[in-house]
Amino acid sequence: MALDSEARITPTSAHWGTYFAEVRDGKLIAVHDYAKDPSPATIGPGIVEAVDDPVRVRRPMIRKGFLEHGKDSDRAGRGVEPFVAVPWDEALDIASAELERVRNEHGNSSIFGGSYGWASAGRFHHATSQVHRFLNSIGGYTKSVDNYSNAAAIVLARHVIGDFQKEILDQATTWPVIAENADLLVMFGGLPVKNAQVTSGGVGRHTMYEGLLQAQANGVEFVSVSPLRNDSAPTFEAEWIAPRPNTDAAIMMGLAHTLVTEDLHDPAFLAKYAVGFERFQPYLMGETDGQAKDADWAAEISGLSADTIRNLARRMASARTMLTVTWSVQRGDHGEQPYWMAIVLAAMLGQIGLPGGGVGLGYSSENGVGNPVKLFRFPALPQGVNQVPDFIPVARISDMLLNPGGTFEYDGKTLTYPDTRLVYWAGGNPFHHHQDLNRLIKAFRQPECLIVNEIWWTAMARHADIVFPATTNLEREDVSMTHWEPLMVAMRKAIEPVGDSRDDYAIFTGLAERLGAGEAFTEGRTPEDWIRHLWNQARQRAGEAGFELPSLEVLREQETAELPPAEKEAVLLADFRADPDANPLSTPSGRIEIFSETIQSFGYEDCPGHPVWQEPYEWLGSPLVETYPLHLISNQPRTRLHSQLDSGGVSRGSKIQGREPMSLHPDEAAARGLSDGDVARIYNDRGACLAGVIVSDAVMPGVIQLSTGAWYDPLEPGVPGTLCKHGNPNVLTRDKGTSSLGQAPTAHSVLVEVEKFEGELPPITVFQPPAIEERG
């Protein structure tokens, strides 16, 4: 590219791609896509405006009431009161004193290390690792387990098919194998290319779109089962089957029933590779409850025709079929059930372990799933030993804060919520991914102290007592190296830190030194020392794996490096299929568990020992539709990663009159007097928000689509139930676990109503900082 003599180009990496930052006169001018990326993400340029926009946190800040009264301040002031800018030393002194007080008076279990989020793509400056290492260096903390993306799948898989990460995601059948061998892709939740813009830790080449194009060229047929037609890109001309949301498990049972009654299933495979089909079949056939789970039954629940279900089952049985299920499908009430049924259905077809056949649990949910890459275990910043045994499932934050001492069920255990007095958050924004924000606000008023490291004034920062300004990946050195991606990137410092921001490592070093844990946290290493240490570990492991990585100096000079290609093409559970005795699964039986004795032993009514259909608490078959007749799908956005870069130009350019766009079917729009470009109010008994209107037949009737991640912007901060002016769907979602087994989030089980907004639109204020007072 032609650049003037004053411009400087610097490599960097993000969860949505590899970029080369163009800097002139110390300012970020542009980011340029990696030349070898065949399908660059939409998201990347959003960083240009966001990196130095007005909503950056530029100095250490303390909520005014907390600065004046400490733990005795009015906690209802969180998210309402102004902040006071203080010097770094004073802010670190106050925060370290709070940490010391809490651990001495209440024990380390009363400290919750939240910090769930994608944060930076760099291997060293990974906020979650940094904060957990720090908290472990001072005695430990209550942690969370699993994640918001696929928590129900994680817990279920360990009982039914094996470790979700190591056995399912890491070994997923690759796109070239699918393109070469599959005849039919049946995609529950579709395969949305926009979701595959990202991989946690960084993306080198976006491969999913490329893989699907090759599959299409080879004659593979696509069937997308989703309420949204654009969950499959128009390029692939997928057959669109549009069921009621949350009815996937019932549809799969209707497919399974057809396979049995028409003798299309594979009993030999089930006998050799699975256990418990004889315990599940009576339920499927209606012998245990008098209701056969046939296509007619599934049609009544799903809104599809029985013929559609029967014909799809026949097509699946007559071809090499890959059954895929996106992570979104399990983020609903009883979200474990469609995943369990997908595994059962694939086992009944008998194609698990065959090239291009079987099941995939997460294609398109991240770019890396199915990426043809050599599996390699990169080193990570060690987090140390947590001396506190307490934990919560990741989506149970509000329950923990509102019910100290209360008990809860999780994966066969009865556990107790700790008495949380201090929350430390770094590298995440729970107001994006947590449900029922009005309840979350009440929950965040319970702890005595909330501390946040944050780049921008997100809702989490605005509800904190102490806010430390953190740097972006463009303001520090690092190295990107991650599983599922072959590309390693020397992430170079492109610009100086904005304002008075500091790296998380510097922040935690300052706190650790004040708490007598400086050496335990740093081990005497500077950031450069740690980056070299991690890279040298990667080089050593590469040598043990039979290939060579360059020195850090050479990597920085050449900017990127690539792993060698994989020795063989990955086919999920191929070794297991070849010899199940020599290569057993990590399930209790070593086989695919259609009936799980372990889950049955837990005695959960909401998750018994085999897949079942249980009505969601809110769905289009519920009597609640008399009041709230529309099902809300809050899927992932196209213009940002979750809520990251919402203040940037790409995301803000997608807004309608400043609001997050919402799509609905022409019939639903006409019934409510809505047209393209209007602003609508979406509401239920939990909350309400505004959104810009897009009228589209790509959304089935009875459904609206409003992407997650719009920064929460309340009309009246601190007032429960107040309107979100900007369009955050989590003011509408219910905060309930999927089941006693997984306790995962249920964001996709939501009913709402929509009406045209009348009157003067309230201004968007979330992209300006909160009120800040100067001393003196």
Residues with active-site annotation: 116, 118
Relative to beta strand 661-664, strand 688-695 is parallel
What is the C-alpha to C-alpha distance for residues 200 and 308, in angstroms, rounded to an integer?
A: 37
List, in sequence order, the alpha helices (H) in 138-262: 151-160, 175-181, 208-217, 248-261
Which helix (H) or strand (E) segment holds residue 589: the answer is none
Of 395, 400, 393, 383, the C-alpha closest to 109 is 400
Please give the DSSP secondary-structure letter assigned to residue 71: G
* Among 463, 397, 465, CA closest to 714: 463
Angstrom distance (rounded) from CA 377 to CA 537: 10
State how far the Cα of 152 lies from the Cα of 362, in Å rounded to an integer.
13
Q: From the centroid of its chain, how far is CA 614?
A: 25
Q: Is 2 exposed, middle or buried (0-12, 13-18, 19+ CB in 10 A)?
A: exposed
The 3-state DSSP class for residue 65 equals helix
* Residue 218 backbone dihedrals phi, psi, to 5 degrees: -85, 0
Report the run of H or E that residue 536 belongs to, with start and end: helix 527-544
H/E stretch holding 767: none
**Rounded distance, CA 732 to CA 514, Å?**
42
State the first-to-last Cα distance of the chain, in angstroms, to the nearest integer: 51
Report the DSSP pairing between strands 487-491 and 422-426: unpaired
The two beta strands, 688-695 and 679-683, are antiparallel
- 366 touches 772 (CB < 8 A): no
User: What is the C-alpha separation between 494 and 477, in angstroms, rounded?
Assistant: 9
Of 323, 321, 312, 316, give the one whose Cα is nearest residue 359.
323
Quote the radius of gyration of the chain (alpha carbons, Å): 26
